[in-house]
Amino acid sequence: MEDRPMRITLIILGIFAVLLIALRIYLPFFIENQINKNINEMEGFSGKVENVSLRLLGGNIRISDITIYDEEYPDPSIPFLSISRTGISVDWGPLFSREFVATIDIDSLVVNYVIYEEVEPEEIDLVAELQELMDFQIHINITNSTINFVDLTADPNIDISFTDFFLDARYIANEVLVNDTLPASINIAAKAMGTGSVETSIRINYMKEIPDFDFELEIEGVDITDFNDFLEAYGGFEAHQGLLYVYTEAAANDGEIIGYVKPVLDEIEITPTDDDEGLFQQFYESVLDIVASVLESPDEEEHISTRVEFEGRIDDPEVGVLQAIWNLLRNAFVEGFSKGLEGVIDFEDLVE
């Protein structure tokens, strides 16, 4: 009689083990089918996930070979988005209180953002959309990736790529920490068209109608000739040589913004792309020559072209045009500004 409770316990444990194994085998297929269903229910998009693996105890989900296509894109062979590997580490505990807490690691992401027709951008209430979701808190890490931007509506077409793309985004959530005015942080690094470097960091509170943020951007040693399609389409000129450097800091609080931009072009040579030899074209060429000579940094490597400040409302900032012109002239004939971020813009300066 004493063995009967033991046998019942073993049977229950055996049944539980079988159910756990069955769940372990079935759940990856269920997740894969749900992901594929959601992808193909997105209006204007289609795609597929090739494989999903799961470790229940560790809360780890591995998703391989994600591909999503824009069904309206003229070339159906080019995906809108593809990801080689994605790892999701879920914290099971918060799920019981209806909060999704996870770390997402994405490797070899490729985004092909293509503008193939002129459309009016839709206004989206981001805060309202996020608040409708289950509470979430996500850390996103992206490595070894590429972002391509193509504008087929421009003449000539614009094709810009950012390679070796890295992103680290922390505390991406739909609730704001009470004691942290800028809870989310995003750091990005990449190469522009395979040359130079682009680095940016931002602390932000996007759970406001007009987000608060503290922002820094550094662009260094980018070959400007790689952007000739962009320059011709929007500026009417092309570069034959030159390196681009840009340094920017900005901060915004309750819609008030302050900041500056420092650009420089080293060893720049530019010409108009219009062959018209009329009076206006001759004037335009003269202006380009002046701008090129002024924007080019002096012999001292530490100097830079100009510094443009802006401040005011974020939806209508005031740019110091006269100050910018004076800075250009001072750089050309007197002295320049040092390359690099100055560290003079601080979000706390805007907080009363």
- CA R_g for the chain: 27
Residue range(s) defining the domain that contains residue 259: 91-350
pLDDT for the residue 204: 92
Is 233 part of any domain? Answer: yes
Indicate the SS3 state at residue 4: helix
E strand intervals along 254-327: 256-272, 303-304, 308-313, 316-319
Q: Is residue 182 domain-resident? A: yes
User: So what's the pLDDT on residue 286?
Assistant: 52
Q: Which of 185, 107, 103 is nearest to 136 (CA)?
A: 103
Overall domain count for the chain: 1
Residues 6+ apart with CB under 8 A from 22: none
Q: Is 41 a member of any domain? A: no
Element (H, E) at 92: helix 92-95
d(CA 284, CA 290): 10
Which residue in 227, 201, 195, 230 sits closest to 216, CA to CA?
A: 201
CA separation for the pair 23, 210 (Å, rounded):
45
How confident is the model over 105-155, as pLDDT tens digits? 999 999 999 888 777 767 777 777 777 777 889 999 999 999 999 888 888
Residue 10: CA atoms inside 13 Å, Cβ hemisphere, count?
5
Determine, yes or no, domain membership for 48: no
Is residue 143 in a domain? Answer: yes
Calpha distance 162→57 (Å, rounded) = 38
Average pLDDT over all residues of the chain: 78
Task: Using pLDDT thresholds of 50, 70 and 90, give the confidence band for residue 308.
Answer: confident
The first and second tokens of residue 213, run together, are 């943020």
Tell me what pLDDT residue 187 has: 97
Domain-located, residue 18: no
Residue 145: inside a domain, yes or no?
Answer: yes
